[in-house]
Amino acid sequence: MSVPAPATPTAPPRLRRFACMMYEGVLLFGVVFLAGYLFDTLTQSRSGLMLRHGRQAFLFLAIGLYFLASWHRGGQTLPMKTWNIRVTDRNSQPLKGMRMLLRYVLLWPLPLLTALAIAGLSRATGWASFDLLIVCAPFSVFLWTWIDPQGQFLHDRLLGTELHDLRHTAPAA
C-alpha cells in the first residue's frame, strides 16, 4: 500500500485572509496600546502629538517585533493559527531572519501609498469626507492577489514567500 503524496500547497482564499487580517487588527490594537503606554511612560509624554515621529518609529518596531516573533515560531501569528494559514518560503520551509524582516518591511509600501493617494484625493477635491476612505488603505494589499496566478500578495511574490492554506495539505506521515 502506498502512502499518498502531500497535496500541493494552495493559497488560502481571500475571504479567509481577510478574516485573518481583521483578527490581526484586534490583536494589534493591544500591541499598539501597550507599546504606546510604554513609550509614554518612558518619555513622560502627555500627548499623542508629543514626540510624534519617535512614537511612530517605536510603534513600527513594536508591531514588527510582534510579527517577527510570531513568524519565527512556526510561521504563524495567533490569527493565522486560527484560520489555518502559514507563511513559508517557496520550498515550504520556515522563514529565516532577513526574509522575515524584509517581509514585514515590504508589507507597508502599498497601504502607505494608498493612504497618500486618499489624502491627495481629499486635498485635490476639497472634500474632507474622502479622508474616511483611509480605513480601506490596509486592504490595498489584496489588489495584487487578483493578478497573481497563485493568488499571493505582492510582497510574498517579490520575496519568494507564500501563504499556505493548511486545510488543504496532507499531514506528514
CA atoms 104, 109, 114, 117: torsion sign: positive
Query: C-alpha grid cell for residue 72?
Result: 519565527
Spatial contact of 100 and 68, defined as CB atoms under 8 Å apart = yes
CA distance 17 to 11: 9
Whole-structure pTM value: 0.84
Tens of pLDDT along the chain (173 residues) come to 444 444 556 889 999 999 999 999 999 999 999 999 999 999 988 877 788 899 999 999 999 999 999 999 889 999 999 999 999 999 889 999 899 999 999 999 999 999 999 999 888 888 887 788 888 888 999 999 999 988 899 999 999 999 999 886 655 54
Give the alpha-carbon dihedral of 143, 163, 99, 90, to 10 degrees: -110
Q: State how far the alpha carbon of 126 is from the alpha carbons of 113, 123, 136, 137, in Å.
A: 20, 5, 19, 20
